[in-house]
């Protein structure tokens, strides 16, 4: 190793620094900028200044937040207008846009990795907090706000200060029924939603190495729920294999050179991290949230916790409030909680592997509640249909929808009605997130499938045993 | 942007933890053009009942804090989605400062962009402010950005803010103009970077 061992976070940071100000703030080059319907505030600011877009060739649009995802649903005119506005803004500025109906359309954080727009070593921004997802391929990717969107549109640069570096190590072997979602949720449940505030995370350890690229995308997606703007995984052979032949990735000789550079991004052996935390995979059981913050989660085979046991009065109050909103009793068995509907989708869990995992549980079974599946992109949808997964979902009683954010945030009208309880593969169980008064339980795709079959929160491992 | 130096105003003792941006402004209001004003959406679903009437017991509706320009909250304020509208609702409702032990990262940068001060105050000092009878009575407190201090009566607490964010608020800088002054550095960067990362641009 050289005299100055570096983490992957430092390597990526240094490669993008254009200038450093006296106060430590750095001007960074942005390699890719993804815009969606919600970016209209940013475009509006550009218009107010009568400014030009600096690099339309590095900017890509995709319709996701407001796009209709249920066949035959009557679309709200405001949603139609939001989608049209994105297409128009992109057309006006010469930006490639995967708009409604485009064969590559889908959720930005699903589309960009699968098209090879996301590559290791790139700095990626998007006006969306789950931009952390792209870190799974070894990119430095984070969400920005509307003023920053406008700034990136006009300059292709972003001001940032160097984050503290945190290594999250997950070692051991996961048990049956435990996947990337359970790992990410277990981390947040153990360390809290603020544990990585101000930090960039590198996820390492045997479990992370063993995860597929899809699994890593799920893990990095939830980084924002730990207070961090970004989490990443060093590129390895799986990363390279995932990107080979992706349409926007370098091709042939150029790919070989790039792959060499990408593998060299890994943290040096003795590189220093400001913080280190770890988790033993053997401790992780399939996990679900019971409250209104992702940290309010517990293993499926446990009980709803009792706020009276907490010594911190503010936290106890927050727990009581969560239980009241969720309509739950302290001490109740988690697997006794009945659900009203199920949702499989979102940038957390709508990739082909997620759909396969859910379909494996639903095969030859029936859902007791209405359910919706929204594949993350047209490409995922096509692949799933090619594998016959859509027929499994439909036979189980699920609705097979189109790609978009859908019921993750309910902006397109796909909402969970007030007071109803939804088993969901999404990332936020905030009050009203899936619609006013909605109650969300976050879990993995196979756990949502199991819950749908049981009509209550259910340990997927029971159904896995039955299937054998 | 209006520079931020000293602010003296009543503070709203919100006192909640993990106030996510979905609470600050529910997603359904985000199609509204900014010109229409976002103040009425602030903490909408906490502030109003199902039927839309104001919940009198909710602290933000307390007449003692009607002129509040400071919000006092517990940890992890502004976590969740990157929506800048979560700052618009505060700014348009007249808030210029939020005091909390910790903030969502993206919320913090969005706040700075809009001249809203996200001041990190130690959890014990937040507790003390939340229990301070004069704060609760709606008496003004003073936030001094030069000194990085919060004072209520004869009590003074320090707050934390990144140096660059502090500069930007104090000067009311426009970031786009600032960045444009680096045009030469950007050009030089692009040349040396292409040699280092010939694969950086998308293939068409
Ligand atoms: S799927 Fe949900 S979390 Fe992901 S980008 Fe869409 S709204 Fe945000």
A158-177 pLDDT, tens digit per residue, is: 999 999 999 999 999 999 99
What percent of chain A stands above pLDDT 90? Answer: 92
Which residues of chain B lie closer than 8 angstroms to A410, CB-CB? 27-28
Which residue has its alpha carbon closest to ligand 1 atom 2?
Answer: A408
Residue from the list B16, B20, B200 with its beta carbon closest to the beta carbon of A31 = B200
Query: Virtual CA dihedral for A51, A53, A54, A59, nearest 10 degrees?
Result: 160
- Report the gap between the CA of B19 and the closest CA in chain A (Å): 9
Radius of gyration of chain A (CA): 21
Alpha-carbon distances, residue B138 vs A39, B8, B70, B145 (angstroms): 38, 12, 11, 21
Burial class (CB in 10 A: 0-12, 13-18, 19+), A309: exposed
Please give the structure tokens belonging to residue A156.
Answer: 């292709």
Residue with tokens 């360390």: A191
Best of B104, B118, B176 to substitute, by most chain A Cβ atoms within 10 angstroms, is B176
3 state DSSP class of A394: helix
Mean pLDDT of A252-256: 96
Mean pLDDT of chain A: 96
Residues in Cβ contact with A3 at an 8 Å cutoff, skipping those fewer than 6 apart = none
Residue from the list B74, B82, B198 with its beta carbon closest to the beta carbon of A129 = B82
How far is B165 from B144, CA to CA, in rounded Å?
Answer: 14
Q: Please write the tens of the pLDDT for every residue from A261-275.
A: 999 999 999 999 999
Q: Please write the tens of the pLDDT for every residue from A48-87.
A: 889 999 999 999 999 999 999 998 777 788 899 999 999 9
A251-263: burial string, b at 16+ Cβ within 10 Å, e else: eeeebeebbebbb
**Residue A208 pLDDT > 50:** yes
Answer whether A408 contacts ligand 1 (Cβ < 6 A): yes
Closest CA to A227 of B101, B134, B178, B80: B80
Put simply, the answer to whether B164 touches A32 (Cβ < 8 Å) is no
- Please report, for chain B, the start and end positions of each structural domain, with discontinuous segments joined by +: 6-173, 174-204
3 state DSSP class of A90: helix
How far is A288 from A362, CA to CA, in rounded Å?
Answer: 19
3 state DSSP class of A150: helix
pTM: 0.91
Local confidence band at A149 (pLDDT 50, 70, 90 cut-offs): very high
Residue A2 has a pLDDT of: 53
3 state DSSP class of B140: strand
Residue B28 has a pLDDT of: 87
Which residue has its alpha carbon closest to ligand 1 atom 4?
Answer: A347
3 state DSSP class of A463: helix
Lowest mean pLDDT among A1-15, A180-194, B83-97: A1-15
How far is B102 from A427, CA to CA, in rounded Å?
Answer: 21
Mean pLDDT of A418-438: 96
Closest CA to B77 of B13, B130, B17: B17
Residue B32 has a pLDDT of: 84
Residue A1 has a pLDDT of: 46
**Fold type of domain A8-161:** Aconitase; domain 3 (3.30.499)
Mean pLDDT of A433-446: 96
How far is A144 from A154, CA to CA, in rounded Å?
Answer: 14
Residue with tokens 């990626």: A124
Local confidence band at A468 (pLDDT 50, 70, 90 cut-offs): low
Lowest mean pLDDT among A134-138, A394-398, B29-33, B96-100: B29-33
Closest CA to B163 of A230, A9, A26: A26
Residues in Cβ contact with B199 at an 8 Å cutoff, skipping those fewer than 6 apart = A119, A121, A250, A254, A255, A257, A258, A261
- Give, as one character, the DSSP assignment of residue B144: E
Which residues of chain A lie closer than 8 angstroms to B80, CB-CB? 129, 224, 428, 430
What percent of chain B stands above pLDDT 90? Answer: 83
What percent of chain A stands above pLDDT 70? Answer: 99
Interface subset of B 9-48, CB within 8 angstroms of A: 15-18, 20, 22-23, 26-28, 30-31, 33-34, 45
Residue from the list B50, B164, B198 with its beta carbon closest to the beta carbon of A24 = B164
Residue A467 has a pLDDT of: 64
Q: Please write the tens of the pLDDT for every residue from A298-312.
A: 999 999 999 999 999
Answer whether A346 contacts ligand 1 (Cβ < 6 A): yes
Q: Which CATH architecture has domain A289-467?
A: 2-Layer Sandwich (3.30)
Residue A369 has a pLDDT of: 98
How many Cβ atoms from other residues are within 10 Å of residue A121's Cβ? 24
Please give the structure tokens belonging to residue B180.
Answer: 């444009």
The CATH class of the B6-173 domain is alpha beta
How far is B36 from A84, CA to CA, in rounded Å?
Answer: 21
Residue B67 has a pLDDT of: 96
3 state DSSP class of A439: strand
Answer whether A64 contacts ligand 1 (Cβ < 6 A): yes
- Please report, for chain A, the start and end positions of each structural domain, with discontinuous segments joined by +: 8-161, 289-467
Put simply, the answer to whether B102 touches A227 (Cβ < 8 Å) is yes
Local confidence band at A195 (pLDDT 50, 70, 90 cut-offs): very high
Answer whether A128 contacts ligand 1 (Cβ < 6 A): yes
Do the beta carbons of residue A167 and residue A273 sit within 8 Å?
yes
Interface subset of B 128-157, CB within 8 angstroms of A: none
Report the separation in Å between the CA atom of A247 and the middle of ligand 1, taken as the mean of its atom positions: 24
3 state DSSP class of B23: helix
Backbone angles phi, psi at A21, to 5 degrees: -85, 165
Radius of gyration of chain B (CA): 19
Do the beta carbons of residue A456 and residue A463 sit within 8 Å?
no
How far is A427 from A133, CA to CA, in rounded Å?
Answer: 12
Mean pLDDT of A417-423: 97
Q: Is the dihedral of CA A39, A40, A46, A52 positive or negative?
A: positive
């Amino acid at each position: 190793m050289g005299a100055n061992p570096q983490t992957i976070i430092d390597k990526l940071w240094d490669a993008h620094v254009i200038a450093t100000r006296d106060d430590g703030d750095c001007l960074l080059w942005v390699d890719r900028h993804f815009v969606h319907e919600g970016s209209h505030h940013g475009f509006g600011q550009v218009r107010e200044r009568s400014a030009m877009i600096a690099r339309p060739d590095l900017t890509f649009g995709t319709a996701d937040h407001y796009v209709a995802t249920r066949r035959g649903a009557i679309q709200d005119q405001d949603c139609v207008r939001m989608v049209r506005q994105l297409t128009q803004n992109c057309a006006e500025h010469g930006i490639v846009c995967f708009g409604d109906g485009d064969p590559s359309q889908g959720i930005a954080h699903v589309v960009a990795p699968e098209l090879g727009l996301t590559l290791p070593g790139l700095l990626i921004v998007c006006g969306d907090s789950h931009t952390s997802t792209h870190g799974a391929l070894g990119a430095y990717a984070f969400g920005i706000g509307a003023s920053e969107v406008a700034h990136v549109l006009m300059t292709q640069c972003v001001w940032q200060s160097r984050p503290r570096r945190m290594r999250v190590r997950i070692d051991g072997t996961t048990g049956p029924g435990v996947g990337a979602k359970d790992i990410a949720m277990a981390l947040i449940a153990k360390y809290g939603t603020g544990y990585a505030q101000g930090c960039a995370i590198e996820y390492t350890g045997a479990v992370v190495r063993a995860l597929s690229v899809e699994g890593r995308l799920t893990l990095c997606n939830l980084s924002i729920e730990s207070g961090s703007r970004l989490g990443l995984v060093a590129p390895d052979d799986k990363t390279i294999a995932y990107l080979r032949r992706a349409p926007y990735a370098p091709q042939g000789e150029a790919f070989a050179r790039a792959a060499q550079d990408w593998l060299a991004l890994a943290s040096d052996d003795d590189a220093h991290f400001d913080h280190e935390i770890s988790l033993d995979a053997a401790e992780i059981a399939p996990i679900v949230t019971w409250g209104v913050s992702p940290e309010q989660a517990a293993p499926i085979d446990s009980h709803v916790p009792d706020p009276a046991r907490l010594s911190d009065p503010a936290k106890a109050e927050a727990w009581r409030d969560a239980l009241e909103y969720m309509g739950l009793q302290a001490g109740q068995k988690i697997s006794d909680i009945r659900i009203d509907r199920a949702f499989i989708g979102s940038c957390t869990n709508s990739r082909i592997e997620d759909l396969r995992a859910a379909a494996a549980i639903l095969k030859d079974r029936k859902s007791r509640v209405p359910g919706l599946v929204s594949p993350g992109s047209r490409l995922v949808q096509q692949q799933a249909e090619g594998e016959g997964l859509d027929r499994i979902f439909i036979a189980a009683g699920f609705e097979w929808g189109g790609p978009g954010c859908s019921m993750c945030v309910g902006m397109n009208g796909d909402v969970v009605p007030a007071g109803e309880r939804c088993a969901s593969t999404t990332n936020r169980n905030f009050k009203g997130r899936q619609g006013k008064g909605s109650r969300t339980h976050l879990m993995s795709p196979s756990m949502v499938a199991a819950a749908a079959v049981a009509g209550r929160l259910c340990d997927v491992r029971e159904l896995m045993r039955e299937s054998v | 942007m209006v520079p931020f130096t000293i602010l003296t105003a009543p503070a709203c003792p919100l006192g909640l933890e993990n106030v996510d941006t979905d609470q600050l402004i529910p997603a359904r209001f985000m199609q509204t053009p900014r010109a229409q004003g976002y103040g009425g959406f602030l903490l909408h679903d906490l502030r109003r009942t199902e039927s839309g009437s104001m919940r009198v017991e909710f602290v933000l509706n307390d007449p003692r804090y009607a002129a509040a320009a400071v919000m006092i909250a517990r940890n992890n304020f502004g976590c969740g989605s990157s929506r800048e509208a979560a700052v618009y609702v505060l700014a348009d409702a007249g808030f210029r400062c939020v005091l909390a032990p910790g903030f969502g990262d993206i919320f913090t940068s969005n706040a700075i962009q809009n001249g809203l001060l996200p001041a990190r105050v130690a959890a014990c000092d937040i507790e003390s402010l939340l229990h301070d009878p004069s704060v609760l009575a709606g008496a003004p407190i003073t936030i001094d950005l030069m000194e990085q201090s919060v004072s209520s009566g004869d009590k003074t607490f320090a707050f934390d803010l990144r140096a660059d964010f502090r500069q930007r608020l104090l000067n009311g800088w426009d970031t786009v103009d600032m960045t444009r002054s680096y045009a030469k550095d950007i050009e030089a960067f692009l040349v040396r970077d292409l040699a280092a990362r010939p694969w950086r641009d998308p293939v068409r």
